[in-house]
Amino acid sequence: MTSTSEFSALAPYGWDDAWADAFTPYEAEGLLPGRVIRVDRGQCDVVTAGGVLRADTAFVTPHDPMRVVCTGDWVAVEPGGNPRYVRTYLPRRTAFVRSTSSKRSEGQILAVNVDHAVVAISLAVELDLGRVERFLALAWESGAQPVVVLTKADLVPDPVTLAHLVQDVETTAPGVPVVTVSALHGDGLDVLVALVGSGTSVLLGQSGAGKSTLANALVGEDVMDVQAARDVDGKGRHTTTTRNLLPLPSGGVLIDTPGLRGVGLFDAEGGVGQVFSEIEELAGRCRFHDCAHETEPGCAVRLALESGELPVRRLESYRKLMRENQWIVAKTDARLRSEIKKDWKRKGAQGKAAMEAKRGRWT
Ligand SMILES: Nc1nc2c(ncn2[C@@H]2O[C@H](COP(=O)(O)OP(=O)(O)OP(=O)(O)O)[C@@H](O)[C@H]2O)c(=O)[nH]1
Ligand SMILES: [Mg+2]
Ligand SMILES: [Zn+2]
């Protein structure tokens, strides 16, 4: 039986009956359940019913970047020991993954067990809609509900300009709530509090977008460091260097993350489709099932382009991200294939050695 009440102190961190069920076999082994609130060079802080414990993550497959312990993980941790080890993490409900670089098609896990992926976009710099679409594709793909937060609204004093910017983002993000906030003046925070008031939310975005400032405003305390002043967002020093999980006073849990220069897609075809849902809807109305929206008759996508209903930029961005995704997937497959081949070769060599040993060559 699971003793939910024994671990009820974990409820503010998102502990529920399903986590309790998943933990049952580890409870029988005398391990403690907890949630990772920060990971730092092979060590992590785990909040347990009895308080925060420092634990080593080396036990949990350290060589596969997709399987390392991540902030937001629910883990089974040893009750004592020096070092004390995290034995395993419970199966993840959602995972936000990007590809680490364009050269190597490896996934990097940025946040797990997240319900709301809050993409922070600064209004202090020129809007890059392509970047918004990229973040949203990974957010949808992760299984979390995306939210866009336009920060530093106080720096756009003209309401007409602000309305245009919000509209641009809204047409770029169908099905995604777009919230405008100013942490400086407190504007829009109530709307955000309502959105992140249940479950786990992660703040993602470029360095300087104002994520930690927002985290402090939501927590109601200066728990995260913020750079006093900076010239341009997205440049220079990263103020936040670890991912930190913070319980919110009004309910819900927030993960603040270090700024990201870029997010490469990682097997995110479904996510890309959701970001461009209006294009996929239009494509469904094309006369030909496999319409490329080039010169085919009865093309609903081209019709929407001509009427101005669909911006050219959107279609181009959709094509670009789809191509990039296919390329990443193909590259990953190639890498997997070569790994499998290497494995066969190794097994083949072992098999040969075993055969030769059997024949008594080395005896
Ligand atoms: N004018 C104005 N400035 C803000 C607002 N929110 C944040 N800032 C400023 O923006 C700068 C960056 O804020 P941070 O919260 O550190 O940004 P961050 O996204 O956490 O940055 P990293 O940790 O490097 O990823 C700081 O100088 C803040 O004071 C706002 O609402 N209005
Ligand atoms: Mg920060
Ligand atoms: Zn078409």
Which CATH number is 69's domain given? 2.40.50.140
pLDDT for 231 equals: 63
Quote the CA–CA distance of 4 and 328 in Å, as a whole number: 43
- Looking at the fold, whether 283 and 249 belong to one and the same domain comes out as no
The pLDDT-based confidence of 335 (bands split at 50, 70, 90) is: low
pLDDT higher for 26 or 232? 26
Question: Is 155 near ligand 1, meaning CB less than 6 Å away?
Answer: yes
Beta carbon of 252 within 6 Å of any ligand 1 atom? no
**Burial degree of 294 (CB within 10 A; 0-12, 13-18, 19+):** exposed
Q: Residue 137 belongs to a domain with what CATH number?
A: 3.40.50.300
Indicate which CATH number applies to the domain containing 338: 1.10.40.50
Number of domains within the chain: 3
Q: pLDDT at position 103, please?
A: 59
Dihedral angle sign, alpha carbons of residues 201, 206, 209, 213: positive
Predicted local confidence at residue 59, as pLDDT: 84
pLDDT for the residue numbered 346: 58
Split at pLDDT 50, 70, 90, the class of 93 is very high
Same domain, 239 and 291: no
Q: What is the mean pLDDT of residues 332-354?
A: 59
Q: Which helix (H) or strand (E) holds 275?
A: helix 269-275
Cβ of 208 closer than 6 Å to ligand 1, yes or no, is yes
Q: How much is the mean pLDDT over the chain? A: 87
pTM of the model: 0.86
Q: Answer whether 212 contacts ligand 1 (Cβ < 6 A).
A: yes
pLDDT of residue 5: 65
Query: For residue 62, what pLDDT band results from cuts at 50, 70 and 90?
Result: low
Question: 185 CB less than 6 Å from ligand 1?
Answer: no
347 domain-assigned: yes
Would you state the structure tokens that stand for residue 11, as one six-digit string? 């409820």
Do the Cβ atoms of 56 and 127 come closer than 8 Å? no
The domain boundary, picked from 89, 119, 142, lies at: 89
Residues 252 and 327 in one domain: no
- Residue-wise pLDDT for 174-230, tens only, equals 999 999 999 999 999 999 999 999 999 999 999 999 999 999 999 998 888 887 766
Q: Are residues 114 and 236 in the same domain?
A: yes
Ligand at minimal distance from the CA of 210 is 1
Best of 202, 218, 226, 241 for a ligand 1 pocket test (most atoms within 8 Å of beta carbon): 226
Residue type, 174: P
What pLDDT digit, counting tens, does each position of 101-148 carry? 655 667 888 999 999 999 999 999 999 999 999 999 999 999 999 999
Q: Which residue has the higher pLDDT, 335 or 131?
A: 131
**What pLDDT score does 100 carry?**
74
Ligand having the closest approach to the CA of 230: 1
Based on the domain organization, do 165 and 63 belong to the same domain? no
Q: Whose CA is nearest to atom 22 of ligand 1?
A: 207
Averaged pLDDT for residues 34-47: 93
Q: Mark which of 224, 256, 288 sits at the end of a domain.
A: 256
The ligand whose atoms approach the alpha carbon of 305 most closely is: 3
Residues 211 and 321 in one domain: no
Ligand 1 atom closest to Cα of 216?
15
Positive/negative CA dihedral, 278, 283, 284, 290: negative
Q: Could you tell me if the CB of 216 is within 6 A of ligand 1?
A: no
Helices (H) and strands (E) in the chain, counts: 9, 13
- Mean predicted confidence (pLDDT) in 320-336: 80
Assigned domain for 262 exists: no
Q: What pLDDT does residue 264 have? A: 86
257 lines ligand 1 (CB under 6 A): no
How do residues 234-281 score in pLDDT, each as one tens digit? 665 678 888 899 999 999 999 999 988 888 888 888 999 999 999 999
Instruction: Identify whether residues 290 and 252 lie together within a single domain.
Output: no
Ligand nearest to the CA of 310: 3
In a domain, 264, yes or no: no
Which of 122, 149, 192, 213 is the best mutation target for the ligand 1 pocket, counting ligand atoms within 8 Å of the beta carbon and taking the most?
Answer: 213
| Cβ(46)–Cβ(53) below 8 Å | yes
Q: What is the model's pLDDT at position 17?
A: 94
Cα(107) to centroid(ligand 1), Å? 28
Query: At residue 345, does pLDDT exceed 70?
Result: no
CB atoms within 10 A of CB 25: 11
Q: Can you give the pLDDT at residue 358?
A: 46
Q: Ligand 1, residue 120: give the atom nearest the CA.
A: 19
Task: Looking at the structure, tell me whether residues 68 and 47 fall in a common domain.
Answer: yes
Instruction: Let me know if residue 105 belongs to a domain.
Output: no
Note whether residue 103 is domain-resident: no
In the numeric block, which tokens belong to residue 184?
């400086």
Q: Answer yes or no: is pLDDT of 1 > 50.
A: no
* Closest Cα to atom 12 of ligand 1: 208
Q: Is the CB of 226 under 6 A from ligand 1?
A: yes
Q: Whose C-alpha lies nearest to ligand 1, atom 4? A: 152
Q: Which of 8-22, 90-104, 347-361 has the lowest mean pLDDT?
A: 347-361
Same domain, 74 and 123: no
- Rounded distance from Cα 202 to ligand 3 centre (Å): 37
- For residues 115 and 209, membership in a common domain is answered with yes
Structural domain including 31 reads 8-89
Residues 161 and 236 in one domain: yes
Ligand 1: residue whose CA is nearest its atom 27: 229
**Cα–Cα distance, 238 to 205 (Å, whole number):** 12
Q: Which of 256, 291, 320 is the last residue of a domain?
A: 256
Q: Is 99 a domain residue?
A: no
Q: Is 140 part of a structural domain of the chain?
A: yes
Is 102 part of any domain? no
> Over the stretch 15-32, which tens digit does the pLDDT of each residue have?
999 999 999 999 999 999
Ligand 1, atom 21, residue with closest C-alpha: 208
| Co-location of 301 and 327 in the same domain | yes
